[in-house]
Chains A and B, each alone.
Chain A
Amino acid sequence: MKTNTAKTKLTALSVLATLTYCLLLFSSFTEGWDDFKLGFQEGYSFKLQTYFVDLKAKKSISSFPDSLTNIKMGEKVNIRYDKAQVRAAVIPVPGKSIDKYQLIETLISLISFFIVIYIPVLFFKLMKTLMNEVVFDKKNIRYLRKLAVLLIVYYIVDFITNYISYRINVSLFDFANYKILREPADMIWLLLGVVLLLFAEILTKGSKIQEEQDLTI
C-alpha cells in the first residue's frame, strides 16, 4: 500500500515537473516572440538592427532624467529608463572590432540553439522513465548528468552573449543621461545544473545499493 502511494507520488511529481517545464518553455517563447518577429523582419531587410541595451542613470540612483505623461492623473511623472531597444544601422562604426564580436555571437547562438533543443528532449526522456517507475537506471544517471552539464553550459553561453552585446553596445552608443550596463546572466540555470548533478550523485549511490541488494538475493 505504502509502496503504491510512493509510486503514485513519483508519477504525479514527474507529470507536474513536465507540465511546469512546458509552462517555462511556453512563457519564454511568448516573451521572445515579438523579438523573434523583429529579428526576422530585420534579417529580411538587412538595413537596420535592434540592439538591446540595459541602462542606468548616470548622475545618481535617485535621479530620474526623463518624464512621461500619466494619462490616469493627467500629470507628468518622473521616469528613469531601465531597458531599451535601440534601432540603428547594421553597418558598424569603422575601426571598431564589432565584426569579431558578431562572429563569436553567431557561433554562440548556434551552441545555445542546440542546447535549447536538446534540454527538453533529455528532460522529457528522463520524466518518461521516472513515470514508468524506472528510477535507479544507468540511463537516468546519464540523462541527469547531460542535463546538468547542458544547463551549466547554457549559463556560460548566456553570460558570454550578454558580455558581447554589452561590448557591442558600448562601442556603438553613448547617451547623455544614461550609462550602458551589462545584463546579468540568470544564475537560476547554474543552480538548477548543480542541483541536478547532486541528484545524479544520489541516484548513482542508490543504483549501487540496488545492485548489491540484487546480488545478495
Chain B
Amino acid sequence: MKNNKKKTSLAVLSILAGAIYFITLIPYFVGGWEGGIRNVNESCKIQTDGVDNESKGSRILQRIQVETKSNDILYSDSIVNIKTGKMMPVSYTKMYVNDESKEPNSILYLILTIVVFLGGLPFFVIPFLFYKLVLSVYKDEIFTLKNIRRIKTLGILYLILYATKFAYNLTNYYIDTSTIELRNYNIIKPDLGYNFLLIAILLFIIVIVMKRVMIMKEEQDLTV
C-alpha cells in the first residue's frame, strides 16, 4: 500500500515536471509566434508598397536591455498618464528597436542562426525524455541503467541550453552595440541564465545518487 503510494507520488512528480517544462516553453513560442506574424506583416507591406528591399537594406528587430547613462538622471524620458492628464518621469529598461539600416556583420547573424538551431534541439528532446522517464517510473522501473542514461542526457541537454542561451545573448549584445547607440541609454549585457546550469548540475548529482542506489539494489538482490 505504502509502496504504491510512493510509486504514484513519483509518477505524479514526473508528470508535473513534464507539464511545467511545457509551460516554460510557452513564452518562447508566443514570442516566436509574434515575431513570425510581424515578419509576415512587414514582408507583405514591402510587397504592396513596392519598396526596394536591396536598396533600403534589411530590417533589424532587436529587443535590447538598457539603463540610463548618467546616474544623476534616473528618468530620462516622460510619458502622459491619461488617468491624471499629467506628464510623468519615466525611464525605459527594455525596448524593441526596428532599424532599417544595413546589417552590420553577417558572420554574427550566421552564428546567431546556428545557435538558435542548436538551442532548438533540446527543446524537443527534453519533453520526450521526460515522457520516457514517467513511463518507466509508472512501470516501477526506477533504478535502471536506461533511466540513469536518460537523466544524464537531460543534464547534457540542459547544459547545451545554457551554452546556447549564453552564446545567443552575447551575440545579440554584440550585434546591438555595433549597430545601435542611444543618447540617454546604455545597452546592458543580458542575463546569462545560470538557472539552466544549476538544473544541469543537479541532474548530474541525481545520476550519481541513482547509480549508487542501483549498485546497492543489485547487491541486495544477489544477497536475497
Contact = CB atoms under 8 A, between A and B. Distances in A.
Interface size class of B (residues with CB under 8 A): 35 or more
A205 B79 contact: no
B197 interface: yes
A153 to B, nearest CB: 15
B1 to A, nearest CB: 15
Interface residue SS majority, chain B: helix
A99 interface: no
A191 B99 contact: no
Interface residue SS majority, chain A: helix
Interface residues of A, number: 70
Interface string A183-217: 01001101110111111011111100110110010
Contact of B209 (A16, A135, A194): A135
Interface stretch (A68-76, A110-118, A157-165): A68-76
Interface string B75-93: 1000111111000111111
Contact of B220 (A68, A82, A93, A209): A209
Contacts of A40: none
A62 B41 contact: yes
Nearest to B14: A198
B149 interface: no
Contact of B98 (A77, A172, A213): A77
Nearest to B91: A85
Contacts of A6: 208, 211-212
A149 interface: no
A212 B101 contact: no
A129 to B, nearest CB: 12
Interface of B: 6, 9-10, 13-14, 16-17, 20-21, 23-24, 27, 34, 37-38, 41-42, 63, 67, 74-75, 79-84, 88-101, 142-143, 178-183, 191-192, 194-199, 201-206, 208-213, 216-217, 219-220, 223
The 4 closest A-B pairs by CB, nearest first: A83-B94, A82-B94, A206-B213, A78-B98
9 contacts: A10-B205, A17-B198, A20-B201, A72-B178, A77-B180, A85-B91, A86-B90, A173-B81, A210-B216
